[in-house]
């Protein structure tokens, strides 16, 4: 399997689906729809939707069964970036090589764009031909992953704890929630929509939790932040490698259908941006 061409094909599939799923920029009120499309379309690795589709296929489902949900996960990711860039949070002027949403459209539209992307994501999650019970579980996993016990909880800890008071425990708490939880939820959602059996679901949850943490540890390595600031590069690199290998091992019983997930774990470990 050639990972580079796999990623390209999957990014194209997801970008086309996002293009169709987002409200048109001419729809009233125009400013919010333009800002939503601006914040989602274009650059972006699409790692969360790609993981959802791969997890769905790893348990014998079709990628098309998870495509709406995959788009919803990317909208939620975009919402988190739009809000993270706001002056009250990280105050970033640029995102993905262009002015951040609030710089381009103003702060009020920036806040509302994040809200709108989050809300619209839940509408998308209801769109598919599955049993209502599967939908409910999917919505529950996403809401948990991004709520106060997940992404928002991690972000709160990140903004609330001063850098000088960050110890290993606090950094682990932040890393597992701020970015890890949405990545883990993406794998769970894919597995649920692929109608995973309980044992496969359990293995995929383990995989998702571990690569979610790897993703943030690698981010810390790239930014020389968080865990790296506390303990230096080498221990963080070794921990990320051990977690990625453990995640890959968890997939053993799923056989060749899980090969993309194995490669994605390696990609997350070795990524440079």
Q: CB under 6 A: which stretch of 42-50, 162-170, 186-194, 238-246 binds ligand GRG?
A: 42-50
Instruction: Give me the 152-171 binding string for ligand GRG, x by CB under 6 A, dash otherwise.
Output: x--x----------------
Identify the CA nearest to 47 among candidates 187, 145, 191, 201.
187
CA 51/CA 145 separation, integer angstroms: 15
CA 237/CA 31 separation, integer angstroms: 43
Q: CB under 6 A: which stretch of 52-60, 100-108, 150-158, 168-176 binds ligand GRG?
A: 150-158
Among 15, 100, 113, 179, binds ligand GRG (CB under 6 A): 179
**Can you give the C-alpha Rg of the chain in angstroms?**
18
175 binds ligand GRG, rule: CB under 6 A: no
Among 16, 20, 96, 197, binds ligand GRG (CB under 6 A): 96
Minimum distance from residue 202 beta carbon to ligand GRG (Å): 26
177 binds ligand GRG, rule: CB under 6 A: no
- Give the C-alpha distances (Å, rounded to integers) separating 209 from 77, 193, 265: 17, 18, 12
100 binds ligand GRG, rule: CB under 6 A: no
178 binds ligand GRG, rule: CB under 6 A: yes
Identify the CA nearest to 182 among candidates 228, 150, 214.
150
Minimum distance from residue 272 beta carbon to ligand GRG (Å): 11
Contact 124, 138 (CB under 8 A): no
Minimum distance from residue 223 beta carbon to ligand GRG (Å): 8
CA 210/CA 248 separation, integer angstroms: 9
219 binds ligand GRG, rule: CB under 6 A: yes
Q: How long is the chain? A: 273
Widest distance between CA atoms in the chain = 52
Contact 41, 93 (CB under 8 A): no
Among 83, 176, 188, 262, binds ligand GRG (CB under 6 A): 83
Q: Which of 80, 200 has the CB closer to ligand GRG?
A: 80
CA 221/CA 198 separation, integer angstroms: 35
CA 161/CA 156 separation, integer angstroms: 8
113 binds ligand GRG, rule: CB under 6 A: no
Q: Which of residues 247-266 bind ligand GRG (CB under 6 A)?
A: none
- Give the C-alpha distances (Å, rounded to integers) separating 223 from 23, 29, 164, 231, 261: 35, 38, 17, 14, 25
Minimum distance from residue 84 beta carbon to ligand GRG (Å): 4
Question: Which residues would be at the binding site for ligand GRG (CB under 6 A)?
Answer: 44-45, 47, 77, 80-81, 83-84, 96, 151-152, 155, 178-179, 219
């Amino acid at each position: 399997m050639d990972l580079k061409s796999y990623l390209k094909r999957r990014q194209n599939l997801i970008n086309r689906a996002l293009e169709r799923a987002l409200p048109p920029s001419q729809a009233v009120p125009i400013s919010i729809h333009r800002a939503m499309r601006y914040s989602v379309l274009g650059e972006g690795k699409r790692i969360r939707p790609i993981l959802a589709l791969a997890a769905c296929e790893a348990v014998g489902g079709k990628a098309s069964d998870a495509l709406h949900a995959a788009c919803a996960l990317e909208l939620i990711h975009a919402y988190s970036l739009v809000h993270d860039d706001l002056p009250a949070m990280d105050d970033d002027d640029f995102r993905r090589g262009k002015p951040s949403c609030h710089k381009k459209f103003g702060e009020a539209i920036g806040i509302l764009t994040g809200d709108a992307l989050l809300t619209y994501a839940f509408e998308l999650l209801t769109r598919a031909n599955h049993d209502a019970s599967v939908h409910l579980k999917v919505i529950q996993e996403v809401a948990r992953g991004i709520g106060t016990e997940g992404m928002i909880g991690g972000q709160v800890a990140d903004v609330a704890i001063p850098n000088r008071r960050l110890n290993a425990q606090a950094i682990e708490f932040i890393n597992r929630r701020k970015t890890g939880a949405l990545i883990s939820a993406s794998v769970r959602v894919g597995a649920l929509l692929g109608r995973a059996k309980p044992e496969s679901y359990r293995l995929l949850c383990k995989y998702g939790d571990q690569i979610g943490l790897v993703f943030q540890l690698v981010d810390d390595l790239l930014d020389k932040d968080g865990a790296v600031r506390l303990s230096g590069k080498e221990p963080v690199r070794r921990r990320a490698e051990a977690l990625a290998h453990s995640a890959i091992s968890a997939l053993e019983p799923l056989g060749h259908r899980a090969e993309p997930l194995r490669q994605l774990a390696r990609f997350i470990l070795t990524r440079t941006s």
